[in-house]
Amino acid sequence: MSVKSESDDVSNKPQLACKTVLVTGGAGFIGSHLILLLAARYPLWRIINVDSLNYCSSLKNLIYLENTSTYKFIQGDVCDQYFIDHIFSTENINIVFHCAAQSHVENSFLYPSQFMHVNAAGTTLLLQAAFESGVEKFIYMSTDEVYGDSLDKYFDESSPKRPTNPYSTSKAAAENSVMSYWKNHKFPVVIARSSNVYGPRQYHEKVIPRFLFLLQQDQKCTIQGTGLQSRHFLYVDDVTEALLILMKRGIIGEIYNIAANFEIAIIQLARDLVKMVKTASNDKLDDWILFVDDRPVSDLRYPMISDKMHKLGWKPKVPWEEGIRRTIKWYEENKSYWPVVTEKEPQGC
C-alpha cells in the first residue's frame, strides 16, 4: 500500500494542530484512498468515516485501520437530517471532505430523482449542518462532467456548466448549493472537479475495472456505441494528493480542476487491456470486444485545464503506464474482492 508522495513527505516536518476530519463516502473508492492517505500523513488526527455501505462501498477498503484508535466508522445516510445533525453535534468536526454520491451515469437515467435527492439535497443538508457547527473547511468532490461535452476547447474553472445527463446535472446542482453557502454566509468551501479516476479497489461499474473483470472471466469487453468517446484518466493517488493540497492551500470560495494529462478512446483502452491481460491468447484484439447499445446521451470528451492546481504545487505524478500496471496487478491478485460481473451489466466512464 502506497499512500505517501516524495514531494509531501512529512516525516521531518511539524504536523498541523490535531483536527477531526469527516469523510463522507469513505468506504467507497476515492473516499477510502483519501482516508488511508490522511491516516498516514496525519496519524494524530481523528478521522470519521460516514458511509451508507451502498453496493460500490466496502469496509474491506479500510481493513488497515480497523484497530486504529483515531479512525471511526459510522454507518449512515447523508440524506438523514437527524443522523447528520447528530454527527456534527457530537464529533467536533473541523474539516469535511464530501465524497459521498450516486455516481453511475447509466443508473442516473433510470433513477434521476434518486440522484438529485442524494447528490443535491444530501449535499445541501450536509452543508447546513457543517455551517451551523462552524466547520473550518468544506471540500466538495465534483466531476468534470458538469462542463458537458467539448471536441476541442479545454475547460477552465470559469467555463459554464452544461451538464448533459441526470448524474452531472445533480452534481452541478450540488455545486450551486455549495457556492451559495460561500456567497451568502462566507462559509469556507472549496470545490474540486476531477477527471476520471482509476486504480485498485474500484468497483466494476466503472470502465477500467469492468473490462479487467470481464477479461479475467474470459468474457468480452462491452463497449457502448462506437467506442470513439475518450476519457482523461487520473490515478487515484494523484487525486487524493490534490485533495490534501486543497485542504491545506485551497482558497476558500474557489473551484479547482484536478485534470489528467492522459487521454484515451474507450475502444483503444479495451484493446490495450486485452494486450496486457490476454498475453497468451492467439485471438485478434477485436475478438475480445463486443459493441452494445449506447447510453441515451454520451459525451465524447471532457478536457480540462489545471493551471490553478499547478499554482498550488500539484501535478499528476503517476504516469498511465505505471498506474495501469499497478491496477491490473491488484485485480489479478484480488479476483474475488467484488461480486462477479457479466457482459450484460452497463459500464460507466
167 an active-site residue?
yes
d(CA 30, CA 143): 12
How is residue 68 written as a grid cell? 486504529
Rounding to the nearest 10 degrees, give the CA dihedral for residues 192, 197, 200, 202.
90
Scanning the chain, the segments in alpha helix (DSSP H) are: 29-41, 81-90, 105-110, 112-115, 122-133, 166-185, 207-216, 236-249, 266-277, 307-311, 320-333
24 contacts 103 by C-beta, under 8 angstroms: no
Strands 221-224 and 230-235: unpaired
| Measured CA distances, 253 to 12, 162, 187, 267 (Å) | 32, 21, 8, 38
How is residue 313 written as a grid cell? 504545487
Q: Which residue has the cell 459510522?
A: 74
Rounding to the nearest 10 degrees, give the CA dihedral for residues 161, 162, 167, 170.
50
Phi/psi for 141 (5° steps) reads -90, 110
120 contacts 126 by C-beta, under 8 angstroms: no
Phi/psi for 320 (5° steps) reads -55, -45
How is residue 128 written as a grid cell? 447546513
Catalytic residue, from 42, 71, 144, 198: name it: 144
304 contacts 193 by C-beta, under 8 angstroms: yes
145 an active-site residue?
yes
Catalytic residue, from 51, 145, 175, 241: name it: 145
51 an active-site residue?
no
| DSSP-based three-state secondary structure for 22 | strand
| Measured CA distances, 315 to 191, 196, 297, 307 (Å) | 17, 15, 31, 9
Catalytic residue, from 140, 167, 235, 256: name it: 167
The set of catalytic residues is 144-145, 167
